[in-house]
Amino acid sequence: MSDNKADITSHFHASPSCEIIPEKFDIEPFTMVIFGGTGDLSQRKLLPTLFHLCKDQNLPDEFSIIGFASSERSDEEYRELVKNAIIKYGEDDIENDCWDRFNRHLYYISGNFDDENSYKRLSQRLEDISRENKKGMKEVLYYLAVPPRFLPDIFQHLSYCKMCKDVYDNRVIIEKPFGRDRDTAIELNRIISTSFDEHEVYRIDHYLGKETVQNILFFRFANSIFEPLWNRRYIDHVQITVAESLGIENRARFYDSAGVIRDIVQNHVMQLLSLVAMEPPIGFEADYIRNEKIKVYKTIRAMDNDYIDKYTVMGQYDSGTVKGEEVPSYRQEKDIPDDSATPTYFAAKFYIDNWRWAGVPFYLRTGKRLAKRVTEISIHFKQPPLSLFKSTCDVREPNVLILSVQPQEAIIMHIGVKHPGIGNQLYPVNMEFNYESDLEGEVHFPLPYERLLLDCMKGDQTLFASQDGIESMWSVVDPIIKRWEESSLPDLPNYQAGSWGPEKARALLKNDGRQWRF
Ligand code: BG6
| Average pLDDT taken over every residue of the chain | 92
Do 221 and 362 sit in the same domain of this protein? yes
- The answer to whether residue 36 sits within a structural domain is yes
9, part of any domain: no
**Structural domain contains residue 225:** yes
User: Do 156 and 235 sit in the same domain of this protein?
Assistant: no
Q: Is residue 189 a part of any domain in this protein?
A: no
Probe target for ligand 1 pocket from 40, 89, 264, with the most ligand atoms within 8 Å of CB: 264
What is the Cα–Cα distance from 38 to 150, expressed in whole angstroms? 15
Residue 456, Cβ density class (10 Å: 0-12 exposed, 13-18 middle, ≥19 buried): buried
Confidence of residue 15 (pLDDT cuts 50, 70, 90): low
**What are the tens digits of pLDDT across the range 348-380?**
999 999 999 999 999 999 999 999 999 999 999
Structural domain range at position 285: 208-510
- CATH of residue 229's domain is 3.30.360.10
pLDDT digits (tens, 9 = 90+) for 288-308: 999 999 999 999 999 999 999
Same domain? 114 vs 260: no
Ligand 1 centroid–CA 359 distance in Å is 31
pLDDT of residue 233: 97
Please indicate, yes or no, if residue 7 is contained in any of the structural domains: no
What percent of the chain has pLDDT above 70? Answer: 94
Total domains present in the chain: 2
CA distances for 184 relative to 199, 219, 427, angstroms: 21, 36, 53
Q: Taking the alpha carbons of 27, 31, 35, 38 in that order, is the dihedral positive or negative?
A: positive
Residue 277: how many other CB atoms lie within 10 Å = 23
* 288 and 213 housed in the same domain: yes
Looking at the fold, whether 385 and 447 belong to one and the same domain comes out as: yes
Q: How far is the CA of 3 from the centre of ligand 1 (A)?
A: 43
In a domain, 482, yes or no: yes
Which atom from ligand 1 is nearest to the alpha carbon of 267? 3
Nearest to 482 by CA among 493, 472, 474, 471: 474
pLDDT digits (tens, 9 = 90+) for 26-61: 899 999 999 999 999 999 999 999 999 999 899 999
| pLDDT above 90 for 513 | yes
Q: Measure 21 CA to ligand 1 centroid, in angstroms.
A: 32
Domain shared by 90 and 223, yes or no: no
C-alpha of 137 from chain center: 32
Domain boundary, last residue among 126, 151, 175: 175
Question: Which residue among 41, 244, 405 has the greatest number of ligand 1 atoms within 8 angstroms of its CB, and so is best to mutate?
Answer: 244
Residues 263 and 168 in one domain: no
Cα–Cα distance, 162 to 141 (Å, whole number) = 14
Which of 263, 377, 405, 449 gets mutated to test ligand 1 (max ligand atoms within 8 A of its CB)?
263
Tell me if residue 268 is catalytic: yes
pLDDT in tens, 110-150: 999 999 999 999 999 999 999 988 888 999 999 999 988 89
- pLDDT at 293 (0 to 100): 98
d(CA 412, CA 414): 6
The whole-angstrom separation of Cα 148 and Cα 254 is 10
Per-residue pLDDT, averaged over 217-230, amounts to 96
384 in Cβ contact with 229 (< 8 Å): no
Asked whether residue 16 is domain-assigned, the answer is no
Determine the Cα–Cα distance for residues 169 and 22; give it in Å rounded to an integer. 28
Q: From the CA of 194, how far away is ligand 1's center (Å)? A: 31
Starting at the edge strand found earlier in the chain, the sheet holding 63-69 runs 106-110, 63-69, 30-35, 139-144, 169-174, 201-203
Of 175, 198, 217, which closes a domain?
Answer: 175
**CA atoms of 13 and 378, how far apart (whole Å):** 28
Q: At what angle do helices 96-103 and 75-89 cross, to 10 degrees?
A: 140
The residue whose CA is least distant from atom 2 of ligand 1 is 263
**162, 215: one domain:** no
- Do 221 and 92 share a domain, yes or no? no
Q: How confident is the model at residue 7 (pLDDT cuts 50, 70, 90)?
A: low
Any idea which of 23-27, 207-211, 249-253, 478-482 has the lowest mean pLDDT?
23-27
Claim to verify: residue 157 and residue 231 sit in the same structural domain: no
409 within a domain of the structure (yes/no)? yes
Q: State which ligand 1 atom lies nearest to the alpha carbon of 205.
A: 3
Among the options 52, 206, 268, 380, which is catalytic?
Answer: 268
Confidence of residue 94 (pLDDT cuts 50, 70, 90): confident
pLDDT of 207 > 60? The answer is yes
Same domain (yes/no): 249, 137: no
Q: Residue 263: how many CA atoms within 13 Å on its side-chain side?
A: 23
Indicate the residue among 153, 175, 197 that finishes a domain. 175
Q: Identify the band that residue 1 occupies on the pLDDT scale cut at 50, 70 and 90.
A: very low
Same domain, 503 and 442: yes
Ligand 1 centroid to 262 CA: how many Å? 12
Which of these, 413, 396, 391, lies nearest to 404 by C-alpha position? Answer: 413
Residues with CB under 6 A from ligand 1: 244, 246, 263-264, 375
Q: For atom 13 of ligand 1, which residue has the closest CA?
A: 207
Q: What is the CATH number of the domain that holds 89?
A: 3.40.50.720
